[in-house]
Amino acid sequence: MFNELINFFNDLIYFIKYVIKGSEFLLNSVDKRLGFVIIFIFGSIFGSFINVLIYRLPLEMDFVFKGSFCPKCGVPIKWYHNIPIFSYIFLKGRCYYCKQPISIQYPIVEFISGIIFGLLYLKFGITWDFFVLCMFYIISVPVIVIDFKYQIIPNELTIGGTIIGLFFALLKSLLSFQLDSSISLGFLDSLLAIIVNVILFLIIYYVSFGVYKKEGLGFGDVKLAATIGAFLGLYPSLVSFFFSFLFGSVLGLIIMFVNKIINYKKVNLLRKYVFSSIDYLSAISVVYVVNTDIDKKNSVYIAFGPFMILGAWSSIFLTNFIIDILFGDYLLF
Ligand SMILES: [Zn+2]
């Protein structure tokens, strides 16, 4: 029994190895522009899946086996009406059956996902880091949108994401001798990161609860800290929290400032302002103000999940950049 399990695992590792090697060979040897187009198509298909997650997870609907359907009339969507980006254009943004408008969010998420996958491919090629970051991206976008809209982060994303991240780290440990990778050091690193981050965020959770007598963070944020740890490993995830709190407090200050100028009773005025505003940053902060429950003490709740995700991606791409600026080569001369 135990031997069979080990054999199965060995086969699995060889299979994964050949999938990676095969796609590496195919896509790293073709022209980068052609590769980008191919990866863009894959990315937009995953973008379509991300839309499914965004819609279904908060409603606690099956997101694996249940086929696509129109959220307005419930009619199942034919595959040729479900082609990323193109179907939205051909159907002129309306359901084929009930003619109700389809949210512009669908083609936007599909397009952005295609672009992000393509950019990750250009930067990393078909490598382990590419697969890990694509996976992390698939978790990132629903966390941002759902936490922003509903102020919750579904367990499927946080606990599910932690398990997936840890599984990737385990595979990395097992495959490490043949992988060229810089993200997460492997299984033990990820496991340590999960434990440390959960303890750290629980401390923040209870301290802020003790000081402010209300939730400063949600439990979703604690679980998300574990997910980020599982994917990035200990040190980069700690760096990511630094970025998160930095971004979060900057927006918090902007919100307090906006709040001071514009009395919170004039929320409806704010709504008009959002749609007429071209200033993106103030628009985002105003949306946050409108979207948040402002209690009688005039304090606001800021969904922190989006900042944690933003911090994680900043940690991935900016850490070396900042270290270069601070301790870069040119300082040696
Ligand atoms: Zn419909």
pLDDT in tens, 282-327: 556 555 655 555 444 445 567 899 999 999 999 988 877 777 776 6
Could you give the C-alpha distances from 11 to 18, 73, 132, in angstroms and in order?
A: 11, 46, 21
- Compute the radius of gyration of the chain from its Cα atoms: 22
How close is the Cα of 67 to the center of ligand 1, in Å? 14
Three-class SS of the chain: CHHHHHHHHHHHHHHHHHHHHHHHHHHHHCCHHHHHHHHHHHHHHHHHHHHHHHHHHHHCCCCCCCCCECCCCCCECCHHHCCCCHHHHHCCCECCCCCCECCCHHHHHHHHHHHHHHHHHHHHCCCHHHHHHHHHHHHHHHHHHHHHHHCCCCHHHHHHHHHHHHHHHHHHHHHHHHCCCCCCCCHHHHHHHHHHHHHHHHHHHHHHHHHHCCCCCCHHHHHHHHHHHHHHCHHHHHHHHHHHHHHHHHHHHHHHHHHHHCCHHHHHHHHHHHHHCCCHHHHHHHHHHHHCCCCCCCCCCCCCHHHHHHHHHHHHHHHHHHHHHHHCHHHCC
Number of domains in the chain: 1
How close is the Cα of 91 to the center of ligand 1, in Å? 11
> Would 19 be classed as within a structural domain?
no
Distance CA 256, CA 248 (A): 12
Question: Residue holding tokens 């031997």?
Answer: 3
How close is the Cα of 79 to the center of ligand 1, in Å? 14
Largest separation between any pair of C-alpha atoms in the chain: 69
**Of the candidates 87, 54, 57, 81, which has an alpha carbon nearest to the alpha carbon of residue 68?**
81
pLDDT at 266: 57
The contacts of residue 307 (CB under 8 Å, 6+ apart) are 244, 245, 247, 248, 251
As a residue count, the chain comes to 333
> Would 298 be classed as within a structural domain?
yes
pLDDT in tens, 87-102: 999 999 999 999 999 9
> Would 42 be classed as within a structural domain?
no
Q: Give the environment of ion ligand 1: residues with CB less than 5 A.
A: 70, 72-73, 95, 97-98
pLDDT in tens, 222-251: 999 999 999 999 999 999 999 999 998 888
Distance CA 37, CA 40 (A): 5
pLDDT in tens, 166-200: 999 998 888 765 666 677 778 999 999 999 999 99
How close is the Cα of 74 to the center of ligand 1, in Å? 6
- Domain interval for residue 184: 172-323
> Would 289 be classed as within a structural domain?
yes
pLDDT in tens, 265-277: 555 555 555 544 4
How close is the Cα of 70 to the center of ligand 1, in Å? 5
How close is the Cα of 155 to the center of ligand 1, in Å? 29
pLDDT in tens, 161-170: 999 999 999 9
Mean pLDDT of 14-25: 78
Mean pLDDT of 47-76: 91
Q: Is the pLDDT of residue 142 over 70?
A: yes
How close is the Cα of 77 to the center of ligand 1, in Å? 9
> Would 98 be classed as within a structural domain?
no
> What's the predicted TM-score (pTM) here?
0.83
Distance CA 277, CA 261 (A): 16
> Would 99 be classed as within a structural domain?
no
The contacts of residue 89 (CB under 8 Å, 6+ apart) are 107
How close is the Cα of 81 to the center of ligand 1, in Å? 11
How close is the Cα of 98 to the center of ligand 1, in Å? 4
How close is the Cα of 68 to the center of ligand 1, in Å? 11
> Would 228 be classed as within a structural domain?
yes
> Would 17 be classed as within a structural domain?
no
